[in-house]
Amino acid sequence: MAIKIVADSSCDLTAEMKAEMKVDLAPLVLYLKDKAYVDDENLDVQQYIQDMAQCEESPKTACPSPEDYIKKYEGHESVFVVTLSSKLSGSYNSAVLAKNIFLEEIGNKFIHVFDSLSASVGETLVARKIHELSKHNISDLEIVDKVSSYIKEMKTFFLLESLEHLAKAGRLSPLVAKVASVFSIKPIMCGDEGAIKLFEKVRGYKKAFMRLVETIGEKGKDFEDKVLGIAHCNCLDKALQFKEEVLKRYNFKDIIIVEMGGLSSTYADEGGIVIAF
């Protein structure tokens, strides 16, 4: 069946995935002081990470406008939209407003907006699920039902080298970030109904890394039916090492690795890893 998947640029994809799933990305705009960076395929993420490290002020982000989304909704196909958690960004509200305007003013068609309750590779897995289901002979509403259940069950965790950017952006208490830095505590963070919360504090990166691997076993089940997504910010070696450790313990149906785009890098910062399953 002919469908179109639209996502915001927090949905981290390889070029192959983007082509195969035909995902149309609505870019967020990232700001360092007065300089704006459009988070699309033309963004030099490595350069952006360097610029971010040198910028004294906290990075700011702007979600896609309703107009940006309306353009993506054009065409005859049914449209499924995947956005960042509505607790982290205005992207979801913007996509819903665009849907309402489109249906009122432009034309009647099927559009559904999913709040991923996640970010980065969590969105990637949701988009992938929509794509897989579209290959079966099921209705648009059945896809909505199955993907909504998938989102509710999905777990997102992340391990960051530094909490500075999360704190600067107001996503985390600056005091927590400072204490973590002083005592070389590496917090494992998790998604909690779309918000970010501290899951566990571990001293030292190696221990935290292995603890994240263990957490999969504690929080997940039926791995043979699931896909593990790993997103990394400029640290492919860590992502590959993580995959290796996971393969020793769990039999996931598939494991995918993606590099973070600009938006995910803004919060994860260099060396950050996000996993979802």
How many angstroms separate the CA atoms of 117 and 194, rounded?
A: 4
How many angstroms separate the CA atoms of 36 and 53, rounded?
A: 15
What pLDDT does residue 267 have? 87
Q: pLDDT for 53-74, tens place per residue?
A: 899 888 899 999 999 999 999 9
Burial category of 183 from C-beta neighbours within 10 Å (exposed 0-12, middle 13-18, buried 19 and up): exposed
Which CATH class for the 156-276 domain?
alpha beta
Is there a shared CATH topology between the 3-28+63-152 domain and the 156-276 domain? no
How many angstroms separate the CA atoms of 221 and 200, rounded?
A: 20
- pLDDT average per 10 residues of sequence, the chain (277 residues): 93 95 97 96 96 89 98 96 97 98 95 98 98 95 98 96 72 76 85 92 93 97 97 97 98 98 93 97
How many angstroms separate the CA atoms of 160 and 147, rounded?
A: 28
Q: What is the CA radius of gyration of the chain?
A: 18
Show the DSSP H helices in 135-228 as ranges.
140-153, 164-168, 174-182, 205-219
- The token duo for 57 is 């002020």
Whether 27 and 40 have beta carbons less than 8 Å apart is answered as yes
Q: Which of 60, 45, 25 is nearest to 272 (CA)?
A: 45
Domain 3-28+63-152 belongs in CATH node 3.40.50.300? no
User: What does pTM read for this prediction?
Assistant: 0.94
Residues whose CB falls within 8 Å of the CB of residue 216, separated by 6 or more in sequence, listed in order: 228, 246, 249, 250, 275, 277
Locus of tokens 């221990």: 207
How many angstroms separate the CA atoms of 16 and 195, rounded?
A: 30
- The token duo for 94 is 């913007």
Domain ranges of the chain: 3-28+63-152, 156-276
Which DSSP category does 160 fall into? -
What pLDDT does residue 67 have? 98
What pLDDT does residue 138 have? 95
What pLDDT does residue 169 have? 66
Which DSSP category does 58 fall into? P
| Alpha-carbon distance values, 75 to 78, 120, 274 (Å) | 9, 27, 34
